[in-house]
Structure 1
């Protein structure tokens, strides 16, 4: 085990290296476009007693996220799905919560953008960022819940939200992202009724 002086020197070296990398991310123009996550549509369909989610989400990254992606940072897109039962005189009850994670990365050697579904492991590559973001924003036939678990005499609704997950960033960048609001890319909650 190293001496306290060597450990301190190593720690300062790591912090300095992290700050050098992050300074490039902070040196972006102040008038950079804001990123936007917007859920354009969402609905459920029922097939053989199972409810499936279909949605269209518009992803526009801000300059900080684009710069991080170009520098090799993997961006994780978190899709939160919340099924609730309406209750009179009490808060609505959560019936099911699902989390769908997709990663977007840039492969500098091939010049391609990679989209990986962390739930299934499925991966696709795209020639342009626009095509990769469009693919991320199309949700088709994602199973949500078996209809047998729902009471037909009750009312239910679904909520959907998409967020750029800053918790998956590398250490120094994660700390920076917590303090700078430019990293907080998220859609509003999109809500609709589910009829069992």
Structure 2
């Protein structure tokens, strides 16, 4: 009877110590991307996309970024034309890659889109620029016909396939790497252009 009581007391002390360590440790904040707005307007060169996202990387991604892991984000945009007799027709589909990295030597964050690279002093500034899309031509004017109803879709997500292999395995098992926005959808119908 005495050994059972000692074992029970030892197990409860171990459980209490683990619980107190878990409560005392700082919480892991999961990342999130929230779409604020998306807008499509006719411009001189075609239809121009303007969008805004609130981006929070979370503790784990911020730590990985500072330790040298570059993060690639995909901005996915599409336009579909409604058809009553068949599936909706995909008019436009684009994916733009943004690469966010940290340079420990200069202590700056670098945001790359295609061949364009820009450096920022703070992560908040780099995320603000990453989350702001302005003046991006996404469709020719000829592709969007006046009088038809269209649906625009917009989404921003971390591309886990671009992570180093050990992080890809961790991303499969952990929700802290699931940083993506919900798909923002809106309807639009271009007006008839005057003669």
Q: TM-score, normalised by structure 1?
A: 0.80
Q: Does 1:181 align with 2:146?
A: no
Measured in 1, the distance between the counterparts of 2:168 and 2:157 equals 15
Paired position in structure 1 for 2:95? 99
SS at structure 2 position matched to 1:65? helix
Structure 1: tracts of 5 or more residues without a match: 1-28
Tell me how far 1:49 sits from its aligned partner. 5.8
Paired position in structure 1 for 2:149? 155
RMSD of equivalent CA atoms: 1.5
Please identify the structure whose Cα radius of gyration is greater. 2
| Larger deviation, residues 86-95 vs 63-72 | 86-95
Measured in 2, the distance between the counterparts of 1:99 and 1:114 equals 20
Paired position in structure 1 for 2:37? 41
Tell me how far 1:179 sits from its aligned partner. 2.2
Paired position in structure 2 for 1:8? none
**How many residues align structurally?**
166
Structure 2: tracts of 5 or more residues without a match: 1-24, 191-195
Tell me how far 1:172 sits from its aligned partner. 1.5
Measured in 2, the distance between the counterparts of 1:190 and 1:157 equals 10
Paired position in structure 2 for 1:75? 71
Paired position in structure 1 for 2:55? 59
